[in-house]
Amino acid sequence: MKALKITVNGERRVLAGHQDAASFIFSYISTPRGETAYHVSGHLLRKDQEVADYVEWKHEDLNEDDEVTLAVTEAKAVDLPKRQRPTTHDWNPQGELELSCSFCGNIKSDVKYLVKGSNGNICDKCTALAHEIMVDEGVFDGEAKS
């Protein structure tokens, strides 16, 4: 299976992969305070699912001179994800799964309203943005239809 191999300063840190992986995401993070890190995540879509689960393999802080290398490789054995959750939920500050917006990721307690669907959720902020885009694109004039 395809896997994403990450090394830091020549040392293997993670071989991210899964037979049901729909995607792998590598993120480099830099904060205004000068902190840096990398994050490896992805989406697993099993045969009986309509919506992929979000999974995380690794998150690690980096030092200023660290050399990070990425390689896409074929592997028989991979590191399994450390965390997994449905894309319709996210972890709240108390460490509990809570409904979340499938578009922006905000959890239910951080938005005014969250519409729950069978394959995803959308918050009031994303609904307003979608409405604005449709008005701008001329899909409809913005007036409520009855």
Q: Are residues 61 and 93 in the same domain?
A: no
User: What pLDDT score does 143 carry?
Assistant: 61
| 142 and 111 within one domain | yes
Residue predicted with more confidence, 39 or 90: 39
Instruction: Say how far apart CA 109 and CA 100 lie, in whole Å.
Output: 9
pLDDT band at 126 (very low <50, low <70, confident <90, very high): very high
Centre a 10 Å sphere on the Cβ of residue 54 and count the other Cβ atoms it contains: 21
* Token pair recorded at residue 114: 């969250």
For residue 85, the model assigns a pLDDT of 78
Tens digit of each residue's pLDDT (9 = 90 or more) over 47-87: 776 667 888 899 999 998 999 999 999 999 999 888 887 77
Do 115 and 70 reside in the same domain of the chain? no
pLDDT at 144 over 60: no
Last residue of a domain, one of 69, 86, 103: 86
User: Is the domain of 42 the same as that of 1?
Assistant: yes
Distances (CA, A) of 136 to 22, 32, 43: 33, 34, 32
Predicted confidence at residue 6, as pLDDT, reads 94
Name the residue range of residue 137's domain.
88-146
Which of residues 52, 68, 86 is at a domain's end? Answer: 86
pTM of the predicted protein model:
0.60
Q: Residue 142: its pLDDT value, please?
A: 56
Do 26 and 52 reside in the same domain of the chain? yes
How many domains is the chain built from?
2
Listed residues 64, 86, 108: the one ending a domain: 86
What confidence score (pLDDT) does residue 96 get? 84
